[in-house]
Structure 1
Amino acid sequence: MAAPSLPSRLNQAQPYALGLFRIVVGLLFACQGAASLFGVLGRDSVPSGTWPFWYAAVIELVAGVLILAGIGTRSAAFLASGAMAYAYFTEHQSKALFPLQNDGELPVMFCWAFLLLVFTGPGALALDKLFASRGEGSARQDGRDQAPAATA
């Protein structure tokens, strides 16, 4: 029997590559939010309640952690993608046309990375899948343990 082709092996690894992509992007996004909120990682903190920077930092931290963990990935990624689109068009695009000219590469990359996760889902290694598989297993187990209904 012939060994699987390279595309076949790559397709088998795709959920894991997507899961690692989600973890790295979520971690980077959460670090952006933590740095802005708490003044860590070489960044000054944003004053509490300032529009839009403080609210963006909260979204970055919370959505980043959810995406990193794989909990509600599609919803969190949708919110994060929209936040980054807003950031780009309100803070960067007015300075110049292209992201390289207006320092908007990071919001653009985050925006498109999160939009990709909206459509692909979390991949492997997501807590949602762990909880779902446990729920299905216990539901099946509960169904098997029940005695059949008595017939008259």
Structure 2
Amino acid sequence: MMLNRLTEPVLSLFRAVVGLLFLLHGTTSLFGVLGGVRGSGQAIEFGVWPGWWAALIQFVGGLLVLVGLGTRTAAVVCSGSMAYAYFVVHQPSALLPMDNGGELATLFCWSFLLIAVLGPGRWALDTVWRLRGRPTREPELVTAP
């Protein structure tokens, strides 16, 4: 079936897009580029808890997920950081994400959890390196009895 052939490419593209968006989110906070923190043009001060550390996870985790390197571990860390952001930052002000501004944290949390469970897909450095490390089998010669 045509849709089954699209599963691997779509999974890889989903992983790459989610990783890129997370990477860009961290880039704005760490370096003050692309609008900076909440459009201020400013970066988060080095080492400030939890903002700077969250931005570092977003930057490094997003990059790793984007290229598909250590994907499952990086995705679990990214998912956990977004769960933390939701429950510590957003949820205390209101229960539902639409009421507390936590939609993005919720979407990232569940997207990274999906990536952690399904894996990186075929188009990932993890997959390429795993396949390259696989020993090649020499063809066996068939001889007549």
Normalised by the length of structure 1, the TM-score is 0.85
The letter for the 2-side match of 1:135 is: G
Mapped partners of 1:40, 1:49: distance in 2 = 18
* 1:118 is aligned to 2:112: no
**In structure 1, which of residues 29, 32, 49 is the aligned counterpart of residue 25 of structure 2?**
32
Number of aligned residue pairs: give it: 133
Per-residue CA deviations over 1:32-55 (Å, capped at 9, x if unaligned) read 111100001101210001000000
Identity of counterpart residues, as a percentage?
51
Q: Which has the larger radius of gyration?
A: 1
Mapped partners of 2:121, 2:131: distance in 1 = 14
The letter for the 2-side match of 1:38 is: F
Mapped partners of 1:75, 1:61: distance in 2 = 15
| Superposition pairs of residues 1-152 of structure 1, within 5 angstroms | 8-43=1-36, 44-136=42-134, 139-140=135-136
Normalised by the length of structure 2, the TM-score is 0.89
Runs of 4+ off more than 2 Å: none
Mapped partners of 1:124, 1:102: distance in 2 = 37
Offset, 1:85: 0.2
Does the 8 Å CA contact 2:24/2:59 hold for their aligned counterparts?
A: yes
The runs of 5 or more residues in structure 2 that have no matched partner are: 37-41, 139-145
The letter for the 1-side match of 2:18 is: V
The runs of 5 or more residues in structure 1 that have no matched partner are: 1-7, 145-152
Offset, 1:140: 2.5
Mapped partners of 2:123, 2:16: distance in 1 = 9
